Structure 1
Amino acid sequence: MFDGLRTIVYPAEDLAVAKEWWTRVLGVPPYFDEPFYVGYSVHGYELALDPNGRAENGDGPVTYWGVPDVEAAVAKLVGEGAAEHAAVTDFGGGIRTALVRAPDGNLVGVIENPHFPGSPA
């Protein structure tokens, strides 16, 4: 079901400050830069900044597993005892995500992102 790790999303209370810092650290500009989400491509992985992040409720950064079909992955995870936490969201460009909460309380993200190696065309 999982194609491998794809993305880590850091909460960014001050998106401008976070974007400036990560751009300097990574030495590249973001490939996706919107007020609601900033994403960097880093050697086949994505480092993302979310101004609506989850740090305030203790969830912190969220890691996303690459999947070929977000709906199927959510159905499988829920079928195995997870609870849907955030419904499938389409960000455009073929990028779709969802979050479930595993029985142990951790958030598990799944992402369809055709812009990364190993993703189905």
Structure 2
Amino acid sequence: MIQGLRTVIYPVTKLAEGRAWYEQVLGHAPYFDEAFYVGFAVGGFELGLIPDGQPGSAGATAYWGTQDIDAEVARLIALGAEVDAPVADVGGGIRVATVRDPYGNLFGVIENPHFDRAKVE
């Protein structure tokens, strides 16, 4: 089952510049900083930056938390969604996937064992 919002990912064309800009916006450094992903902790949620993808009004993807991503993706498909990006391990035990709802909207799911509900503000 969907547990709540966890992560919103923004694609940027220049990761270092994007990191610096969001660091100023948020007032602190990222907790995760690699060439393929930069993650900022924000009020118990995550703002992520990726160096690929298409920036713009349709560029951000919200990721909804689940404890069992395989079961959740299967449930979403059974409800009429189509896989956009299959379940992938992105490191640290974190797994993500995206589906398109029956209307074409991108819907992300994330299984993140590091998510701490106690930090949600």
Match of 1:13 in 2: 13
Gaps of 5+ in 2: none
- Give 1:33 deviation, angstroms: 1.0
Query: What secondary structure, in the 3-state scheme, does the structure 2 residue paired with 1:17 have?
Result: helix
**Superposed, which structure 2 residues align to 1:35-54 within 5 Å?**
35-54=35-54
Give the total of aligned pairs. 118
Q: Spell out the pairing of 1:46-85 with structure 2 (5 A cutoff).
A: 46-55=46-55, 59-85=58-84
TM-score, normalising length from structure 2? Answer: 0.91
Contact 1:62 1:108 in 2 (8 A): yes
Structure 1: unaligned runs, 5 residues or longer = none
Provide the secondary structure at the position in 2 that maps to 1:111.
strand
Residue identity over aligned pairs, in percent, reads: 53
Aligned pair 1:116/2:115, yes or no?
yes
Asked whether the 8 Å contact 1:97–1:112 carries over to 2, the reply is yes
Q: C-alpha distance in 1, partners of 2:115/2:26?
A: 18
Q: Segments of 4+ in structure 1 off by > 4 A?
A: none
Distance 1:55 1:83 in 2: 22
* Counterparts of 1:69 and 1:33, CA distance in 2: 26
TM-score by length of 1: 0.91
Cα distance in 1, alignment partners of residues 93 and 28 from structure 2: 22
